[in-house]
Structure 1
Amino acid sequence: MADKHDERARNAIDEAQAFVIDSIAETMDLYGVTRSAGNLYGTMYFEDDMTLDEMREKLGMSKPSMSTGVKKLQDYNIVKQTFRKGTRRQTFVAEKDFFQFFTNFFTKKWLREAKTNLDAINKAQHELDELLELDDLDENLREEAILTYRQIEGSKPYYHWLQKLVASIESGEIFDLLPLEDDRL
């Protein structure tokens, strides 16, 4: 009788973890990380640490796919290489604190967004500045260039705000404005 209960309990735990893993993978996919890397992170979230072979066995992915996924997750600083006593194989552990995950994952994406767009705006404005210096520029084109310049100038406050948001998250100041509720078990 106990075996039947244990089997039912094991199935319930596995199903509960599968729901969360699938949700994590879907969420990460929304933010540009492949679903397979999201599944990998979600799976690692429930493990102490894992080797590439253990990941491959659990997820049925190829070793190169595992390696690529782990590298991507390491780039976001949400998976770290660890050392397991008694083995020479590389082991990896997922960030389990979702506040730290949020900080590591989203700040990198947001900083990249701000930098990419501010660089493009600066290049575009430089082009428009050179165009507006021309004496013989058609007046309709001049007006369009000025409107374009103003429009892209108007987007700069958003990217500067995004950079400040990232700085407040990285410094922890954001948590003064939005305190953490510590309902952890």
Structure 2
Amino acid sequence: MNELDVLTEEQRSQLLNTRRRVIESIGKNMDLYGITLSIGYLYGNMYFNRGPVTLDEMSQTMGMSKTSMSTGMRTLHDLKMINKVWEKGSRKDLYEVVPDWYQNFSDFFSIKWRKAVEQNMSALKRSLKEIEAMMVQHEGHPQMMQLLQSDKEKIEEALAYYRWLDRLIDTFESGEIFEFIPKEQ
């Protein structure tokens, strides 16, 4: 039996309209962070479920193909916004929302930022090595040395920024950020 089956048609309609607004808001918010609207809607729909759901159930609820649903679930799982759970007697994968929005935000940005920081620092370090090699090669050319020194300083400033961002990510991952900006109760 569905939890909404005990409601009158009017009560069900009012509740579903209210939920739909929240789900749309969640979807639009997640879209701002580069997650598709459909995955945002998927999370929003799952947020209102009282228990774990299967791919089939969510596919039916949202009118999406099982393949799209599987991709959406995998994305949300990779972002640590849902968990795969086990239920006795069920052979299908079950998923439930991680309802801690603060942790979801922290995990999402930590995952995205960490990847970007690693890629950018790698590129900067590679460029810095090349500049240092060129500095040895062009010691007798003051104009070239001046350009290389200027570029080296700019890259070192960028590296300092990424080291700072790396420390900021650490505060998100450890939960230390909430000591500076506490969660609302």
TM-score class, shorter: 0.7 to 0.9
Structure 1 residues not aligned, in runs of 5+: none
Q: Does 1:54 align with 2:57?
A: yes
Aligned-partner Cα distance in 1 for 2:62–2:141: 62
Tell me: CA distance 1:58–1:129, structure 2 relative to 1, closer, same or farther (3 Å): same
Instruction: Please report the RMSD computed on the Cα atoms of aligned residues, expressed in angstroms.
Output: 2.0
1:89 partnered with 2:86: no
2:30 is aligned to 28
Is the contact between residue 87 and residue 94 of structure 2 (CA under 8 Å) also seen in structure 1? yes
2:44 alignment partner AA: G
TM-score (norm 1): 0.86
* 2:96 aligned counterpart, secondary structure: strand
Post-superposition CA distance 1:118-141 (Å, at most 9, x none): 111111111211222213775444
* Identity in percent: 36
Decide whether aligned partners of structure 1 residues 69 and 170 sit closer, same or farther in structure 2, where only a CA change above 3 A counts.
Answer: same
State the Cα deviation string for residues 55-89 of structure 1 (Å, max 9, x = none): 11111111111111111111111111112344211
- For these two proteins, the number of residue pairs brought into alignment is 178
Amino acid at match of 1:104: D
Taking the aligned partners of 1:103 and 1:82, their CA distance within structure 2 comes to: 22
After superposition, what is the alpha-carbon deviation per residue over 1:114-171, rounded to whole angstroms, capped at 9, x for unaligned?
1111111111111211222213775444333322221121122222222112212222
In structure 1, how many angstroms separate the alpha carbons of the residues matched to 2:146 and 2:115?
32
Structure 2, unmatched stretches of 5+, are 1-6
TM-score (norm 2): 0.86
Inter-partner Cα distance in structure 2 for 1:71 and 1:141: 50
